[in-house]
Amino acid sequence: NAGVTQTPKFRILKIGQSMTLQCAQDMNHNYMYWYRQDPGMGLKLIYYSVGAGITDKGEVPNGYNVSRSTTEDFPLRLELAAPSQTSVYFCASSYSGMDSPLHFGNGTRLTVT
């Protein structure tokens, strides 16, 4: 039981490049989330999903896109990378939404130069 797996662990992008951050969970959780954490700050919600085929915006969605074609996977897409997207990205899942704890992956550290 691996929990929540994120790939890659690290990535450096040039301004304007695109990439997809991968997230997979093996706990059969319906709820999945993407957060970013900037230095000295709390985690901010980018997008979330309450089940396959259903996604919604969080607090800071601009510059990102998501899809949820299966229960297990919730990739995050950056289309035109900007320096402001330099951050650590965490994917999380939960059994029943806001009344249950989140299980986090170990994060992807992204630098845009």
Q: Which residues touch 58 (CB under 8 Å, ≥6 apart)?
A: 33, 34, 44, 45, 46, 47, 48
The reply on whether position 40 binds another protein by CB under 8 A is yes
- For residues 62 and 3, give the distance between their C-alpha atoms in angstroms, rounded to a whole number: 28
Choose, by CB under 8 A, the member of 34, 60, 105, 110 that binds another protein. 105
Taking alpha carbons only, the member of 3, 22, 25, 24 closest to residue 11 is 22
Q: How far is the CB of 92 from another protein (least distance, A)?
A: 7
Choose, by CB under 8 A, the member of 4, 13, 46, 78 that binds another protein. 4
Q: Enumerate binding residues for another protein (CB under 8 A).
A: 4, 31, 33, 35, 40-45, 48, 50, 56, 58-59, 90, 92, 97-99, 101-107
